[in-house]
Structure 1
Amino acid sequence: MLQRLFATRDRAERFYERQVVDHLTPHMREFVARQEMVFVGTSDASGNCDTTFRAGPPGFVRVLDGRTLMYPEFRGNGVLASLGNILENPHLSLLFVDFFDDLVGLHVNGAATITTAYDAARRHGLADEDMTAPGRRAERWVKVEVEEAYIHCSKHIPLLVRQDRRQRAPEGRRPAGDDYFGVGQVKARPVERAREKAGKTAG
């Protein structure tokens, strides 16, 4: 409907015909195998969305074949938002972006299932060294059956430079700790006001 409204239907159809496939081409497989990060989009049964970021050593997302890939889930904050969504709604989107070399992205849409690290090794031949990132071990894996794959053009992708994260941050920059966005202070205010009110009442 929107394509007709904004007169983009012909352009969109050309994109579908030339760029969208239902599997990973050899070039796509090679691209995924050297990526260090991916953005993951999920939603629950009601359509409430969540987008998250996953990272690991190059190729931490494993391409099993042209229609299947898997990525590890490491220990996090315990919320398990993405995995919870997948249990309700298996539709998942992945966006790989190469910010450093090719300045291009790859969209992968598919159906996801969750499996244990043991089962991933037993069923899919992932060796112990495939289960680890520096200082971390996968607790479970997400298997994605590819339904769509297509390019994200380079037009607005910024060129980034790799830098050792241990280098000193610029002077004056706030450390990226748990309360970087000041949520702790906001949460504390109602508690403080309640304590003040209770104190005045008691007095």
Structure 2
Amino acid sequence: MQRTVETQPADAEVLAGYREPSQLVRDKVIDRVDEHCRAFIALSPFATLATADAEGFPEISPRGGDPGFVHVLDEHRLALPDRQGNNRVDSLRNLSVNPQAALLFFVPGAEETLKVFGTTSLVEADALGIDLVEFGRAPKSVVVLTVQRAYFHCGKAVMRSGLWDPERQVDRSTMTPFGQVLKDHCRLETPLPDDATIRADLAREL
């Protein structure tokens, strides 16, 4: 269900410059995970999870795993295992006070993306009676999303970005080492390990 909010006058002027969406764009929104959504989710190894706190301040978190790491329980429910991370659990804290959430699914090589919106509940890892072990580990918990809206988003953004184009991949050596970034952001006195060591440590905790 779409919320009605008051639009600021200046914002309304900007919005007035956009044409109305086509009927096709309006009609593509469905209230379930159909066979096409299910097939896309089964191929997706990466998604972003959008949440907000009680005051509406947003959070977005990358989530990934083997293709199909988000499980389709039925046409109205998805299960997103929560894997070991940095223990900030910002998304889960948000969902505990504001259960509305959205998932944006990507499939490598596909220019379209899939958006799924709904309300959530947090359950224990063994509450669903399905095998959620991945990379040799059970999840810490599971986010169950009850689907209210789902639709495919056109590929223009991915086309513009060249996201899957190997020729447009950035050489990591041209970027500041991540250990240096963390040192600067955290105002540390001593240096952190090099990026290869950091990545190896992360890989052991997948």
Pair 1:120–1:5, CA change in 2 (3 A): same
- The match for 1:106 is 114
Residues 21 and 149 of structure 1 are in contact (CA less than 8 Å); yes or no, is this contact kept in structure 2? yes
Aligned 1:19-168 pairs, distance under 5 A: 19-98=28-107, 100-121=108-129, 126-127=130-131, 131-157=132-158, 158-160=162-164
CA distance in 2, matches of 1:109, 1:149: 6
CA drift at 1:6: 2.8
CA distance in 1, matches of 2:66, 2:56: 32
Aligned residues with identical type, % of pairs: 27
CA drift at 1:184: 2.0
Residues 29 and 149 of structure 2 are in contact (CA less than 8 Å); yes or no, is this contact kept in structure 1? yes
Paired letter, 1:111: T
CA distance in 2, matches of 1:6, 1:50: 29
Paired letter, 2:87: G
CA drift at 1:161: 6.1
Paired letter, 2:81: P
CA distance in 1, matches of 2:179, 2:135: 20
Paired letter, 2:178: A
Q: Where does structure 2 lack aligned partners over 5 or more consecutive residues? A: 1-6, 190-206
CA distance in 2, matches of 1:108, 1:89: 17
Count of residue correspondences: 171
CA drift at 1:39: 0.4
CA drift at 1:135: 4.6
Residues 96 and 105 of structure 1 are in contact (CA less than 8 Å); yes or no, is this contact kept in structure 2? yes
Residues 174 and 180 of structure 1 are in contact (CA less than 8 Å); yes or no, is this contact kept in structure 2? no
Report the TM-score when normalising by structure 2. 0.74
For the aligned residues, what is the CA RMSD? Answer: 2.5
Structure number with greater Rg is: 1
Report the TM-score when normalising by structure 1. 0.75
Residues 122 and 141 of structure 2 are in contact (CA less than 8 Å); yes or no, is this contact kept in structure 1? yes
